[in-house]
Amino acid sequence: MSQNHARTTRPNDLATRLSAGFSSAITAALGQSAAQTDPTIKAAANPKFGDFQANFAMGLAKSLGKNPREVAQQVVDAAPQSLRDDCEPFEIAGPGFVNIRLRPETIAAALAAMDAPTLGVSNGAGAHTVAVDLCGVNVAKQMHVGHLRATIIGDTIARLFERLGWKVFRQNHLGDWGLPIAMTLAALRRAKVDLNRVTLNDLNRAYRNAQEQGRDDEAGLAAAEATGAGPHRLAELQAQHVGAAAAIADAHDTLRRLQSGDPAVVADWQRLIDVTMQEVYETAQLLGVDLKPEHNRGESFFRDRLAPTVDAFVQANLAVRDAGALVVRFEGRERPLLIQKSDGTSLYATTDLAAARYRIQDLGADLVVYCVDARQRDHFKDVFDALRLIGWTTHADGTAASLVHVPFGAVLGADKRPLKTRSGENFTLKALLDEAIARGRREVHARAASPDAPTASLNHTELDAIGQAVGIAAIKYADLASDVGRDYVFDLDRMVSFEGDTGPYAQYAHARIAGILAKAAAKGLGRGAIAITEPEERALALNLLRYPGTVEDAAAQLAPNRLAAFIYELANTFNAFYQACPVLRGSDEATCASRLQLCALTQRVLADALSIMGITAPLRM
């Protein structure tokens, strides 16, 4: 993805203003030959050295054959008045670093500009379009822990772009077509199961049973016959062979009838989808994920586009026969992309090619994002390269769409292996969420037992609602706070903690601020212009001002963990401010009003950031 897709110019961004000011100073001091030099403005690692640091001098000095401190001094002396008005006198340190400390009025003015409905976040007003491939469940199978990541990472990326004003298409690529579904449907019909009463648990069992019924041990039968196995073993294998052949034949016949539009088969097939998706929608709602029927674009949606997709590659001389199959070959790569089997049937790759063409050409996506686990890296590399070869990534106006696979790692148990139940099966997502909610409710009820707790007066139902929000936040934040490409250990004890880098900790910071503001309102205390006088006020203010850039960077890098890191740092910085700077008992009315305004802005930013992650921000905890 182009790193400029989600970035815009923010006139109120202090780092941007500093960069522009120092660029002007470099040109004024050293001439046009230095005009393209990046001033390299970075946030200071230690507040005692200032708020920002400019690190341009050493590189320039080397090219000019001068002393770095001398170069830094020349540039500082040429600083425009607008830059001087924003900053305290500059300090040149070490081998030529320029330490920058902003004037308190500059910070306060930037906060006032940010204190708007948009919170300073740019809005593209639909100028760009992104399609996000997320969730991707298989019909007749329960959601498992792997679907958690595909769903919430995809939803958060979609929310990031929505926050920036992009036109967003969520695309739930259902596995709802082909032989596996036909096998399940055929098995259910053979058993005369009443599909009007069937549950997803029933379908999940039927799916597994259908796979077993269609599994043929032909090699085992041949070996048993060759080695003279006993009659019971031979009879068992022969029965398995005959039964599997019959099940496969029935599945092919069911698939044929489905593809030809047999009303009864189509109705039963639709029932399988409805039962599956009912739980998916319920789970999405529980997770705070925006996933609805209009987002479904399953394999069945593209079934009439598969043959034209293959034909297009053949006509473009990009597909060649290999042992009867059609493959696309890539220069310098041994691995081809199989787009049609020797029997004429299509594959996942064929559907993905058709889907990408639809997303780019029909939906007009400038960017297509695939939130799919890391094991599919090679598959998507091949699909993307094939799309570029045939030219389907290019829009009618000649602009090229970007295709990005966001490969996520596995969720691990305490043994550092993929999370499984004691029986060795994948955890269902519902079981995982139920446990997290139960744990969150226990924590919230336990805290409410204290007479001094903000939640002490709430009833059982209200506490349960907060506990559910805490449990869901615990799981979502832990997942999104990690680098999406890495595996992470599922530790519910740590996740539901109200301390440390957790979702409940961020929620609690928000609730604490809400409590402060509620007390202020009860006392009739008003808010006023922000004045920066204390170091903790400055630290909090500078953190708040990073928010618009953080949202843009998280979207540009497709990295929700950057937003999570910002939330954690903001919560920490607020807590330090709260401990050092009394709000409701400030030294005077103006100070109290200023700090209340700073609190209110912090609450809004925290709530907004959490909402991008699809996390509820309770007012009391």
Task: CATH number of the domain at 388, please.
Answer: 3.40.50.620
44 in a domain, yes or no?
yes
Q: Is 107 helix (H, G, I), strand (E, B) or coil?
A: helix
520 within some domain: yes
Rounded mean pLDDT of 306-315? 97
CATH number at residue 76: 3.30.1360.70
Share of the chain above pLDDT 70, in %: 92
Among the residue ranges 220-234, 386-400, 536-550, 594-608, the one predicted with the least confidence is: 220-234
pLDDT exceeds cutoff 60 at 234:
no
- Among 102, 117, 145, where does a domain finish? 102
Judgement on whether residues 380 and 474 belong to the same structural domain of the protein: no
Residue 392 domain-assigned (yes or no): yes
* Closest by CA position to 183, among listed 143, 141, 218: 141
**What are the C-alpha distances in Å from 85 to residues 107, 284, 336, 474, 617?**
12, 50, 61, 45, 38
Helices assigned H by DSSP within 342-455: 348-357, 377-390, 429-448
* Confidence class for position 1, pLDDT limits 50, 70, 90: very low
Indicate whether 191 and 322 sit together in one domain.
Answer: no
Asked if 318 and 225 sit in the same domain, the reply is no
Q: Are 557 and 587 in a shared domain?
A: yes
Let me know whether 298 and 254 are in one domain: no
Number of domains into which the chain is organized = 4
**Contact call for residues 367 and 5 (beta carbons, < 8 A):** yes
- pLDDT at site 6: 57
CB atoms within 10 A of CB 271: 16
Q: What is the pLDDT of residue 3?
A: 44
Query: Could you tell me if 229 and 297 lie in one domain?
Result: no
Domain for residue 345, yes or no? yes
The pLDDT confidence band at residue 585, using thresholds 50, 70 and 90, is confident
DSSP 584: T
> If pLDDT is split at 50, 70 and 90, which confidence band does 236 have?
very low
CATH number of the domain where residue 489 is located: 1.10.730.10
Instruction: Confirm whether 232 is domain-assigned.
Output: yes
What is the pLDDT at residue 239? Answer: 46
pLDDT digits (tens, 9 = 90+) for 441-492: 999 999 999 999 999 999 999 999 999 999 999 999 999 999 999 999 989 8
Which among 88-92, 413-417, 431-435 has the top mean pLDDT?
A: 88-92
What confidence score (pLDDT) does residue 419 get?
Answer: 84
Task: Kindly report, residue by residue over 118-135, the tens digit of the pLDDT.
Answer: 999 998 878 899 999 999
pLDDT of residue 226: 59
Find the mean pLDDT for residues 312-320. Answer: 97
Q: Is residue 115 part of a domain?
A: no
Most confident of 235-239, 383-387, 587-591: 383-387
Whole-angstrom distance, CA of residue 577 vs CA of residue 538: 9
pLDDT, tens digit, 9 for 90 and up, residues 239-282: 444 457 888 899 999 999 998 999 999 999 999 999 999 999 99
pLDDT of residue 218: 52
Which among 458, 385, 366 has a CA at the least distance from the CA of 126? Answer: 366
| Nearest alpha carbon to residue 157 among 608, 558, 553, 606 | 558
**Bigger pLDDT: 422 or 302?**
302
Residue 183 and residue 152 share a domain: no
**Would the pLDDT of 401 be above 90?**
yes
Q: Is the pLDDT of residue 5 over 60?
A: no
In 310-431, which ranges are E strands? 319-322, 325-330, 333-340, 367-373, 402-408, 411-412
Residue at a domain's end among 411, 444, 463: 411
- Which amino acid, one-letter code, is at 331? E
Helix (H) or strand (E) holding 227: helix 218-227
Each residue's pLDDT tens digit, 173-214:
999 998 889 999 999 999 999 999 999 989 988 888 887 876
**What pLDDT does 341 receive?**
92
- Give residue 223's pLDDT band: very low, low, confident or very high (50, 70, 90): low
Indicate if 438 and 567 belong to the same structural domain: yes
**Confidence grade of residue 219 (pLDDT, cut at 50, 70, 90):** low
Q: Is the pLDDT of residue 238 over 70?
A: no
Minimal CA–CA distance to 119: which of 164, 158, 161?
Answer: 164
Percent of the chain with pLDDT over 90: 81
Instruction: Say if CB 23 and CB 80 are below 8 A apart.
Output: no
Type of residue found at 432: L
> How many Cβ atoms sit within 10 Å of the Cβ of residue 41?
22
Q: φ and ψ at 340, to 5 degrees?
A: -155, 130
- The least confident of 163-177, 418-432, 580-594 is 418-432
483 & 550 share domain: yes
No. of helices (H) and no. of strands (E), the chain: 22, 13
Query: Does 158 lie in the same domain as 39?
Result: no
DSSP label of 261: T
- CA-based torsion, 532, 534, 535, 537: positive or negative: negative
C-alpha closest to that of 302 among 373, 359, 342: 359
Q: How many CB atoms lie within 10 A of CB 72?
A: 26
Nearest CA among 540, 538, 527 for reference residue 584: 527
Select from 83, 102, 121 the last residue of a domain: 102
Predicted pLDDT at 426: 73
Q: What is the pLDDT of residue 197?
A: 93
Per-residue pLDDT at 114? 96
- Crossing angle (nearest 10°) for helices 145-163 and 263-287: 70
Q: Which residue has the higher pLDDT, 25 or 248?
A: 25
- Supply the pLDDT for residue 424: 64
Q: Comparing 286-290, 427-431, 473-477, which segment has the lowest mean pLDDT?
A: 427-431
What average pLDDT does this structure show over 73-98?
96
Domain of 449, in residue numbers: 429-612
- Work out the average pLDDT over 342-354: 93
Asked whether residue 206 is assigned to any structural domain, the reply reads: yes
Mean pLDDT across the chain, nearest whole number?
91
Q: In the 8-state DSSP scheme, what is residue 293? A: G
Residues 303 and 171 in one domain: yes
Q: CA-to-CA distance for 96 and 98, rounded, in angstroms? A: 6
374 and 441 share one domain? no
Is residue 436 included in any domain, yes or no?
yes
